[in-house]
Structure 1
Amino acid sequence: MEPLEGATTVERMLLNQAKHTHTPANGSIELLPLRNMNWDICYVRLSREEMEAKGRLRTADEWLEIGRQMKDAGVLFLLLTGGEPFLYPDFRRLYLELRKMGMIITINTNGTLIDEELAEFFGKYKPRRVNITLYGTDEETYDKLCHYPGGYEKTLRGIRLLREQGVDVKVGGSLARANRDDLDKLLDIGEELDIPVRVDTYMMPATRERDLSYNMQSRLNPEEAARARIHALKREMGLELFPQYVRQSVERADHPEPAEAKPGHMSCMAGQCSFTINWQGEMRPCVILSEPAVSVFEVGFKAAWKYIVEETHKILLNEKCSTCHMRHLCRTCAASALLETGSYDGVPDYMCRYAGESLRILREEWEKIQHGQTISDR
């Protein structure tokens, strides 16, 4: 999982340095598990009754105390998310106080609750970025996938209002069976609004679907997901950069760097310089992993971070993945291995097929490039 989506060169340098020193430079807080939409493939979504059965929301004052501890521990980048964060009762006060502490704040939202007043607020007190999810490109998809009539126009309106206030906006989307035909339309919207769009074609399996065949799941099957991803990359990179990516990807597969076959540690920043805290106060390495976990409200932030670093280091991945010639095309991480196979050291069949199809397509593209054929971005 990307710890800081769209990080600049300087930001990545800071994160890499923090990774070496195990400084918790980057984190996220899930303020609440409630949403105003009922997306079919949502990882964090509870009804109010389900939430209240599990516990209460933490107050802004409680989060601000953790915020002060985070500041002292070196947290610089902070993501506020949910659920839908704008449903949090005291969001604006919490945001302003964390911002005063010097934290660089990003917000994840579905965008439907952004009105003129909220847009003006962010125009005055700008975040690093507002990430807005587009679940489709028309009202029919929002009704079918999110069960939220009118959601598409509300989301576009929120994007436009923020841009009018000079707020940096990035659009993200996840491709599933219900919106598989929307990929190009999503990318077109980014071009029309002059904002970056990132469409993720790989989705980890929903709990209720893990025992079903791929063709019975809500997500795309691995080959279809791979084809969609390569197509999206072609459009995102353009006709100048995409051939370079193709060449480098094929060369890396044909001439992989020597690697010893042994269980590998997590290579991402989760549990090394990055963390997440859920709405109940449990710190975890990333938003997908449910373990290791420890309550920041019970032990304090620094003790919780120390525990997460130590426990994350114990997680080992399968040795086959460490020597695979397609590992640069694969999306396997500790979280995906666990959710796909039931264990950290499992080898996900989905990911093997995803990487294999990606390489097959890239080889075809490379053949076209070598023979001087024109590559279309459509």
Structure 2
Amino acid sequence: MLNGLARELHYQYRCMRLGWGFLTGRFIHCNLQITYRCNFKCQICDFWKVERSPSDELSLDDIRLIGRKLNRLGTLIISLAGGEPLMREDIFDIITALNKARHFPILITNGWYVDETTARDILRAGLQEISVSIDYRDPRKHDAQRGIEGSWDRAVRALELLHRHRPDRRNRVHMISVLMDDNLDDIEELIRLSREVGVTYMINLYSWNRGSKRRREPQTKVTEHLLGLKRKYPEFVTLTTYIERLDQAIAEGGIGNCQTGRLLMNIDTRGNVARCTETLDEPVGNILADDVMAIRERLWKVQREKECAQCWTSCRGFAESMFMPPRLRQSREFYTSVQRH
């Protein structure tokens, strides 16, 4: 009983600190690149095209230090990014370390490495949210896009296992799709599939500066169609404000007034800190070597002085959507989805 009470107090304390970040416009999200290794060969990504080694990655002790340093900025949503994050054999220890440092660790996975034990243990370790990528209702199309036969079946199985081992409804499990030029008609069927499995559904626009030379965003307006699906299916939990700006993002190649560097940052596999994954080659410091408050000031300076309008990915979109008017609607929508599902 005491352990249960301690966990609840720890959760509520983190929520309070994160909420303060929302109220004050401070950093709320960090993409932490824990590996660039990946077992898939996705057409829309190029990380897998370069040979990677675990020796090129942050150690567990490095990540523990990063968690403690970031704590000075508040409680953050820390996205364990890649590559495929579940290729890290110490993933359970990484999640535990960031949880103990009073952050909310989350991750996106292709689902290949999720078995019964992994599903149970990553959630027990304190993973707040996990999303499994499925882009098409047709398994053959998904497998072709991801470059691995059987990947669709493994992804669905991963969602089933994660849902089964979910300790609390506040531990969110999503199916997530990259919105492309040939899967808009799949979205409703994928939402229905997520409902059958018992999980929620989200969409994302992929970075246009990585992967295939051919642009893969939809070639038609999508906002009205997707808002209709959101009204129809409560399982579709992508924030309304994010969806409302998709047509503009697609038509203009992104959304202006980017707030990365103020609300969101990226830390690569060497500890170098930049505004986002689009600016990996423009670091402002190294989290392992530099003072985190000095890094914060440099990020804010870059954000103020360097305008960017090159994307509308979900990590940036979520952070900025929570600050867009009407803010009360976004907050209510987010917390309602957590409590309902």
- Give TM-score scaled by structure 2 length: 0.71
Question: Whole-Å Cα distance in 2 between the matches of residues 159 and 208 of structure 1?
Answer: 27
Q: How far, CA to CA, are the matches of 2:233 and 2:107 in structure 1?
A: 32
Q: Does 1:287 align with 2:287?
A: no
Distance 1:280 1:123, change over 3 A: closer
* Cα separation, partners in 2 of 1:207 and 1:131, compared to 1, 3 Å: closer
Q: Is the 8 A contact 1:144 1:178 kept in 2?
A: no
User: Alignment identity in percent?
Assistant: 18
Which stretches in structure 2 are left out of the alignment for 5+ residues? 1-14, 235-239, 249-254, 313-341
Superposition TM-score, scaled by structure 1 size: 0.64
Matches within 5 A, 1:1-378: 13-19=19-25, 23-42=26-45, 44-47=47-50, 49=51, 51-52=52-53, 56-166=56-166, 167-177=171-181, 179-200=183-204, 204-206=208-210, 209=213, 217-222=214-219, 224=220, 226-227=221-222, 229-238=223-232, 267-290=257-280, 292-293=282-283, 294-316=285-307, 334-336=309-311
Distance change in 2, residues 1:66/1:40 (3 Å):
same
Indicate conservation of the 8 Å contact 1:75/1:103, yes or no. yes
Aligned to 2:5: none
The 1:55/1:306 distance shift into structure 2, 3 A limit, reads farther
CA distance in 1, matches of 2:17, 2:291: 27
Larger radius of gyration: 1
- In the aligned structure 1, how far is the partner of 2:97 from the partner of 2:207? 34
Cα displacement (A) at 1:89? 3.1
**Aligned partners of 2:35 and 2:83 also within 8 Å:** yes
Once the two structures are TM-superposed, the CA of residue 193 in structure 1 deviates from its matched residue by 2.5
The 1:285–1:189 alpha-carbon spacing in structure 2 relative to 1, beyond 3 Å, is same
Output the CA distance in 2 between the equivalents of 1:18 and 1:104: 18
Give the superposition deviation at 1:170.
Answer: 1.4
Q: RMSD across aligned C-alpha pairs, in angstroms?
A: 3.2
CA distance in 2, matches of 1:239, 1:95: 31
The aligned amino acid for 2:228 is K
CA change 1:117–1:310 in 2 (3 A) is same
Is the CA contact (8 Å cut-off) linking 1:66 and 1:301 kept in structure 2? no
Distance 1:205 1:283, change over 3 A: closer
5+ long unaligned stretches in structure 1: 1-8, 210-216, 254-264, 317-332, 338-378
Instruction: Give the partner amino acid of 1:197.
Output: Y
- How far is 1:46 from its partner? 4.3
Partners of 1:157 and 1:13 in 2: CA distance:
34
Instruction: Give per-residue Cα distances to partners, 1:323-362, cap 9 Å, x unaligned.
Output: xxxxxxxxxx63339xxxxxxxxxxxxxxxxxxxxxxxxx
**Residues in 2 aligned to 1:202 and 1:73: alpha-carbon distance in whole angstroms:** 28
2:41·2:146 contact (CA, 8 Å) conserved in 1? yes
3-state SS in 1 of match to 2:159: helix
Structure 2 Cα separation of the partners of residues 315 and 113 of structure 1: 39
Change in Cα spacing, 1:59 to 1:80, as seen in structure 2 (3 Å) is same
2-structure distance, mates of 1:231, 1:178: 15
User: Against the structure 1 CA distance between its residues 63 and 124, is the aligned structure 2 distance closer, same or farther, given a 3 Å change threshold?
Assistant: closer
C-alpha spacing 1:237/1:202, structure 2 compared with 1 (3 Å): farther
Higher mean C-alpha deviation, range 266-275 or range 149-158? 266-275
Closer, same or farther in 2 for the Cα pair 1:298/1:12, shift >3 Å? closer
Matched residues in 1 for 2:218 and 2:270: separation?
34
Supply the AA of the counterpart residue of 1:306.
E
Q: How many residues align?
A: 277
